[in-house]
Structure 1
Amino acid sequence: MSENNFLAERFEANRVHLRAVAYRMLGSRSEAEDAVQEAWLRLGRTDSEDIKNLGGWLTTVVARICLDMLRARKSRREEQLSPLTPEPAADNENGEEEIADSVGAALLIVLDTLSPAERLAFVLHDMFAVPFEEIAPIVGREPAAARQLASRARRRVQGASAKSETEMPVADLSRQREVVDAFLAASKLGDFEALLTVLDPEVVFRADATAVKMGGPAELRGAEAVANTFKGRAQAAQPAVVDGAMAVAVVFGGRLRIVLELRIEGDRITGIHAIADPDRIKAFDVAILDT
């Protein structure tokens, strides 16, 4: 067997693991496949005799590639205020789950709020048991600093998971994201009937003083009144995670101007609170999601 064929077989034996690492890092099947393919290309350009542990080497290479992709993505988001929406795991051609253990879209949404280095440290250590001594060179830190990155990420993930039901727990983020997407789509299209289906009949809308000065109503009650107000609007609105809960972020002029805190019960919105006060907005932990 030629050396190239031998390396190809060993690479294929690691592909599922590498795809799982990349998917958790990136939250995108297509980008995960790109990262794994790039690792294969880099392997072809490397003297295999210098690689003592191929599985570990490939994991490190994929992690570095994903870190670069996350940093590039973060740079684009800072310009566009538009993070990537995580893609759900899919089945492969063999009908087996592509990702070895369950990774819900809700968890991926929370992971998407971490910094690239935090996400890498958390994913590699907490999900794949990679020692901090091996993580440190990837993120350019000492092992102790890499441990702190993972610890901060862990607190963020655990904090989101510990939200009470009234604060929209992380387990419900995926379902509530569907409600928010339906609300924004109906609003932007001016579909009054679709708005009524996503709004509770007794929905209450309230706005802070700053939002009222911007031309909005102080308070509205009932689905028809709220639907009429949002019909044909929300063109600058995007789904967001605000302090661990699904919300709506209104961005224009390159700045976050308004946060719509939502109360969602079942598949309907029962409350909307518009917050435009700059000081309050600065205090929020906001992750704007792609539409």
Structure 2
Amino acid sequence: MESLDLRVLADALAWLQAGHSATLFTVVETWGSAPRPPGALLAVRGDGLVSGSVSGGCIEDDLHTRARPAQELPTLLHYGVTQDEAARFGLPCGGSLRLVQEPLHDTAWIAELLQRTTAHQLVARSLDLASGAVQLHSARRDQAMAFDGQTLTTLFGPRWRLLLIGAGQLSQAVAAMAAALDFEVLVCDPREEYALPFATQVQRVDGMPDDAVRALQPDAHTAIVALTHDPKLDDMALMEALTSDAFYVGALGSQRNQATRKQRLAAHFDLGAAQLQRLHGPVGLRIGARTPAEIAVSILAEIIQVKNAATAI
């Protein structure tokens, strides 16, 4: 589940708490070309205000109409079942969608789900279409969204996090782009000369890099990148990151520097071959990047590539 969809639930919760009615639409199945994947969310407030997307704009107008007046129980919707209907709603390449329309009445499950995902828990939400009852359970990383025609189970994962070691010019560029990609961005740099503030959506982490990594308790939704080019700082972070559950660990430096770094980590921090193999370096995809912004693009492109490969398993 993308954190953008968690934002949809946060908006719906705020609407309900303010006294509005709200309807939630969830993509449960797609055929052919579909702009949004199963699990994507759209919330429609009683006055027509929307949050999220389920089709890239193709069927949203029709969903506005369906959301008013609000229904009492969840229902199943089909779009693009025929070629004529696909053309009518502008679904690309004859694609078709199946969605669940769900009137929202209870705020308790939304608040609990948001609280648990903020605490970096992976949560499964089960909706019974016959009664509208919702249950929340702890989920596993190998679990997938499921719909049997009666019960819809969707996964809500914690927000993807990126910890940057170093607060220089390159880190500024990486942090800005990562925030735009909806990562939770954290920066650690104990050097006083790099104490300039970051954007408001970036969190500074106090202390030394190794302490910062341990305090973060990296999980499979966490990426860590060392960008100081100072072995005294980068190595401290890497020795902790490479033994953690972080899905991506990278470090700035040439191939020669990376070879030297791995020798140093093996000799002084007792890291094994399997752990050292996890280190991405030189960090980023090879796109001929030269400027800090271009290097930031290459780094985030590689992080996204690894992230998407991991979540596709």
Q: Same fold (TM over 0.5)?
A: no
Higher strand share: 2
Higher helix share: 1
Q: TM-score, normalised by structure 1?
A: 0.28
Higher relative CO (Cα under 8 Å, sequence separation at least 6) belongs to 1
